[in-house]
Structure 1
Amino acid sequence: MRISHFVQIATVMMLLLAGTASAAIIGVGEGGRIIDAPAVIDDDSVFCSAFSEQGECEMLGFDERQGVGLANNLSVDQGVLASGDIDSHMIFLNTMGRVSAKLTVDWYFDGKIIGVMSDRNGKLEALASAILGAEGTRYPDWFKLRGLENNDWYKVDGNKLTFHSYVKEPGDWIRVVTRAMIPDTSAIFLSFCLLALLGWRQCLADTNDL
């Protein structure tokens, strides 16, 4: 095999490794479900029972925009995020009409949670949707009680979010911001060098066999 073939393989590996830079929802506990980003994410569009075969109410979550470089300060419940690359995720519980539901669900991300937007009327979320919202998803402006009320809460522990929501009308939506996963460029470079070395040795072996 020629060395150029090994270089091509190494290049493909570098591209694959570089493509793992974004952080995502990687797991969810009982009562939750990870979904694809919907076309619309308002109070009358996506309901908690829509994805369950048994029609049971589930808390839903999806990944939004990934690898966003902050150009301006971003307000979250914890204060202000001023710099760095971030990923965004939406978690919500929403029932059809005035049906009530109460769930506590654990959500896991492959990046550290650095902020949550959960204010009572969803103003923080609405202000950030233009830069953090999923591409192709239409988001509403803030409205009364879109965020968390007195009976709702969340807890952050590293890359784990525990979210307790009690809803009737409207639902509860929160945005979770995680630190973007940056690929280890040194590991990528070493992989490239190793494959190039193997290709060089194979080339010498092929030459000696002639």
Structure 2
Amino acid sequence: MLEGRKKLARFTNIDPGTEAAFDRWVDKGALQKEVFLEPVPESFKPYLIDPNHTADREVYYALKGQEWRIPAMRLLWKEGLGWNEHFERLEGALFGYESWQNDWWIAHCNERGGTGGIALFCTVDAEGLRWMELAGFRALPPFGRAEIPVRSFHPDEETAMALFLAEDEDAVALARFKLLPKRQQKMLEDNSNGPWQITREQIPEINRHLKRQVDILLRRSKT
């Protein structure tokens, strides 16, 4: 930031040592600092490790002359309830990153499952995969088994993903998808860790709440 390459920094519940390091430059007049307390949403409270944690402390630092970025970033975070790569790009622009840096970051995020939310995985059979290809991978196939198992994996759990695919004798591929917050919250309501089951009848609703395209991560070998 001191070199002017980055215009804004945002921290939530910042480490005291980090805050002191930034405050040094606030005192010297190089940075502008603003602090906000954001109440923890009621829906999050059952999952808190510390029940006394009722608010998050947000700290912003902006270069002098770039203070307008602070209210702009707060507005983005308040409105970005369906966070996707477009919000991610806007956030990067407000931080001061160049277009090529935002392009690299979004491509990196997409390789790891996309921006925001939990990546969910299900298997698809040959007919379903053909349908998805014709649909441009914009939806899950609205037919097939009466119940579809859904799992969540860390991006590095490639062996577990492969085993999940192998367990389904009819499957030819492993699909990854992400849901908008309201639909994701509904799925996680009674079981936050999975696995989950979705029915064939739920697929149209799932497709209406997809955040981005469906990715095919693994394909079963034909040999």
Whose strand fraction is larger, Structure 1's or Structure 2's?
1
| More RCO (CA 8 Å, sep 6+) | 1
TM-score range, shorter chain: under 0.3
Whose helix fraction is larger, Structure 1's or Structure 2's?
2
TM-score, reference length from structure 1: 0.20
